[in-house]
Structure 1
Amino acid sequence: MAEDPNCLICASDAVLERGTAFRFEIPAEPRNLPAFVIRYQGKVYGYINACRHMPVQLDWREGEVFDLSGHFLICSLHGARYLPDSGLCIGGPCRGQRLLPLTTKEANGMIYYVKPITAPVRPNPESTE
């Protein structure tokens, strides 16, 4: 039986429009990756919680990733501003780069992280094994 690629993050009502981000971790080696989901214009978006300028988490206070206007995600360390719906940096030292997106799914009142499907490792054609 195949492993379910969907990992429950939280209930849909835990992520309010332009509100506090819901933080979670993605299992990874050698350590888990911090991540968050937000709701913007009615849709849920997920990103790795790391600024593209320096690998620091965006939020100074847990889940506070929107600027005061609610129109941009902002890095609390140096003020890089990102579009919530694409992760594109439109201001700051990493202008033109993007936050690393996550595939999310909202169904039956819950929000899920959809794990990427990795291709099977192909044997090396030059190998004698």
Structure 2
Amino acid sequence: MTGEAADKLFICEGDAVLEGGRGVRFAVTAFGDEATGFVVRYGGAVYGYLNRCAHVPIELDWAEGEFFESSGLFLMCSTHGAIYVPETGQCAGGPCKGGRLRPIAVREELGKIYWQPDEFIKPPRVIPIQPI
């Protein structure tokens, strides 16, 4: 692979991400630190974000992969209740006060979901295995 195709990284099979429900986390390096991103499905499309609340830099999901509040209409921070619009990551209420989630470019191709690193969100660092 060359160019753009070589840079896309596999996240999961498309059917692992449920409409307005369970999402999938994936490892990233964000602004130089180890972190996680996540992908959710809403309105038939997939959306990816850094798993970090705009209010306080903590992960959103209350259980692994659980990003939506009970109605399935908004993403919600499990700690302080900040809610976000799934299509844009924009704060829709709570203590995030006009903030937004940091987007990660994702796309679905042939039933598989991929993400695209950028200058701030990069692939996870590989930890070398030390010989015994």
TM-score by length of structure 2 reads 0.82
Task: Report the residue type matching 1:102 in the other structure.
Answer: I
Distance 1:88-1:28 versus aligned 2 partners, 3 A rule: closer
Structure 2 residues not aligned, in runs of 5+:
121-132
Counterpart of 1:70? Answer: 72
Alpha carbons 1:89, 1:98 under 8 Å: kept: yes
Once structures 1 and 2 are overlaid, which stretch shifts more, 20-29 or 76-85? Answer: 20-29
Cα distance in 2, alignment partners of residues 80 and 28 from structure 1: 21
Structure 1 residues not aligned, in runs of 5+:
119-129
What secondary structure, in the 3-state scheme, does the structure 2 residue paired with 1:79 have?
coil
Deviation at 1:27, TM superposition (A): 3.5
Superposition RMSD in Å: 1.9
Distance 1:29-1:78 versus aligned 2 partners, 3 A rule: closer
Choose the corresponding residue for 1:20, options 19, 22, 27: 22
Counterpart of 1:104? Answer: 106
Counterpart of 1:36? Answer: 38
Task: Report the residue type matching 2:82 in the other structure.
Answer: A
Task: Report the residue type matching 2:99 in the other structure.
Answer: Q
TM-score by length of structure 1 reads 0.84
The count of aligned residue pairs is 118
Cα distance in 2, alignment partners of residues 9 and 88 from structure 1: 23
Alpha carbons 1:6, 1:114 under 8 Å: kept: yes
Correspondence 1:90 to 2:87: no
Cα distance in 2, alignment partners of residues 26 and 37 from structure 1: 12
